[in-house]
Structure 1
């Protein structure tokens, strides 16, 4: 490999949320979803050059930014997007909260998958919107939509569907047919859609590719806000930015409420990192995917050989969703933590008997984590 993903990095004394939340001498922290790899050299160089300019004044989005993103979406996903449909945001999370607040009223409800990244639920609860659960079903090792139950899950108060592809924490990369079925269901029931696609660049399954939900049809695009970012893929969430794609001007207006007022714009370095990744980051991303596939394969082999544990197919991202139900332990998260491994508790995603393991780390650290899990399961 031209890039080094295997040498352990030292993230102590860097104000890392993940590494500073536990005593690093006692706990290996593989929970919060950032990676332990350095960002691509092209990003580091671009940031260094920008810093060396020595002037850090108020900064607007570069004039070529939207066109660069549109070209990137065409190149990566064969998705033709007008640059005018793109709204630059500070983060995907802020976009989720804005979508819920602006596209629903207080007496209306939101369709939310389960399990799901916790901010999709928090966006609803913080806005006092009712959540209508959409329990995903495990079929052939994949967490999929409950297509036969969707009609029973909504009421005449349901106005918005939140979606996540690739799915977090289950890592499903939805197929074109699955996306079409869900998109058409939302059309038939007059639902807006907000689709979190931040892990789009991290498809691990060799036979899958990321397909933006809004790319399925013009009708679905007119009902959808797509939230995307390169923060996860190129590992710069501390200075990254996000964007929303919305063909419908009503949705574009909604997602901009509060921008530059109560919602701060991205920092000047955020534009630098994203543009560098778009321009020169692809070789690094390709090697990252290869390394993550090796980590994925190791987890699949190890976890599924441990009695009481199982893991679903990991089609995308660097997050392993481990089923601990058959360990018959009241709190598997605490069990692993007590023995030196911090994961994300399943309760965060509304599934108590699961844990989420971040395998965006060096192979030696992953080996250490899997050994801890195995020793816990044998107790």
Structure 2
């Protein structure tokens, strides 16, 4: 496999790209001179194996309804076994239109209007969005910070229970904090769900993107095999290979009763996969794709080091240690500035579009999230711009 060129600057403007074409409207940052570091996709081409698969489909020229696709299921099973040591059966795999869609279907299938769904905040903002849209209540259980990293606060969370909770959504690895939860922490989550009769939805979309030297990601189904009767695992190739536009994800359910409930809701909603996504995933989950991901993670780690070192030179700014994902979670509370002021400096001074921390729920108010999955020249430029925007602190 040829070495991927992650340094290539690819102009994504004018391609209906949310990350670049929408940042002017969302942040007042022009794509002409701004840096898009908000939407969680990468500015890199996917592996050549994926591109070849798309070109083969285009060359065939007939885009009818897809049918049985054993190559797709076999590729998912191969990937989970070889990359995560997790043996799954083909009939455990349900295919959805991305993991936000998968989360929404779980909420629809396993809870009723008025029920409470637990999320550990700050956490991926789409969880709360789909919970509220379904007429359920978001139960924000804030994470604690110890030694600069997030920790689960079981004593505090137990006091928040009302008896109306029906589901807990776990983000593993954690977005936006970049934590890889330990097997012991996963067992604690499982014990909590068992004790309070909660369906556990484990969103593991970032499981391939673990930094060198960080703790190894453990699949919840492996950490606690006994939780299968209440466990739904969400995975996807979309984050790992930058194919989010394919809108395809895996809902993996070992328990037959849980799986039938989900299948029933999917049938009622008319959920079925798209042709191109199936082919792209089958091509991504391959030895060539594995080598590409290894090269990607090494590159992202280099970006992380540059970004963290640059921010460390700005008094009052601190980037949470990034164990997984490509999303830097930066705490601005040490500057003593109001949120409006540090946000203004980033957007208007540095001309960088970064996610506002408050959108991730309680505990995110003093943070911004920066996407580091972009060519290194842009990360270096972003650091220089941030240092200039906060020069009066140095």
Match of 1:311 among 316, 319, 330: 319
Look up the match of 1:255. 262
Following superposition, the deviation at residue 276 of structure 1 comes to 0.3
More displaced 10-residue stretch of structure 1: 287-296 or 210-219: 210-219
Q: Deviations over 1:180-210 (max 9, x none)?
A: 1111111121111111111111011424222
Following superposition, the deviation at residue 257 of structure 1 comes to 4.2
Q: How does 1:1-379 map to 2 (within 5 A)?
A: 2-21=3-22, 22=24, 23-259=30-266, 262-279=269-286, 280-327=288-335, 328-331=337-340, 332-339=342-349, 340-350=351-361, 351-379=364-392
Distance 1:191 1:41, change over 3 A: same
| Partner secondary structure for residue 343 of structure 1 | strand
The answer on whether the counterparts of 2:109 and 2:265 sit within 8 Å (CA) in structure 1 is no
Would you say how many aligned residue pairs link Structure 1 and Structure 2?
Answer: 379
Following superposition, the deviation at residue 358 of structure 1 comes to 0.3
Q: Deviations over 1:139-188 (max 9, x none)?
A: 22321211332322322111110110111111101111111111111112
The answer on whether the counterparts of 1:308 and 1:377 sit within 8 Å (CA) in structure 2 is no
Q: Deviations over 1:222-241 (max 9, x none)?
A: 21111110101100111141
Task: Provide TM-score, normalisation by structure 2.
Answer: 0.92
State the distance in 2 between where 1:296 and 1:138 align.
21
State the distance in 1 between where 2:359 and 2:264 align.
28
More displaced 10-residue stretch of structure 1: 162-171 or 144-153: 144-153
State the distance in 2 between where 1:287 and 1:233 align.
12
The answer on whether the counterparts of 1:205 and 1:314 sit within 8 Å (CA) in structure 2 is no
Following superposition, the deviation at residue 264 of structure 1 comes to 4.2
The answer on whether the counterparts of 1:47 and 1:272 sit within 8 Å (CA) in structure 2 is yes
The answer on whether the counterparts of 2:12 and 2:20 sit within 8 Å (CA) in structure 1 is yes
Distance 1:260 1:372, change over 3 A: farther
CA RMSD after TM alignment: 1.6
The answer on whether the counterparts of 1:215 and 1:221 sit within 8 Å (CA) in structure 2 is no
Following superposition, the deviation at residue 217 of structure 1 comes to 2.5
Distance 1:240 1:40, change over 3 A: farther
State the distance in 1 between where 2:170 and 2:234 align.
10
State the distance in 1 between where 2:156 and 2:222 align.
24
| Partner secondary structure for residue 102 of structure 1 | helix
More displaced 10-residue stretch of structure 1: 147-156 or 108-117: 147-156
More displaced 10-residue stretch of structure 1: 355-364 or 279-288: 279-288
Distance 1:236 1:61, change over 3 A: farther
Following superposition, the deviation at residue 63 of structure 1 comes to 2.6
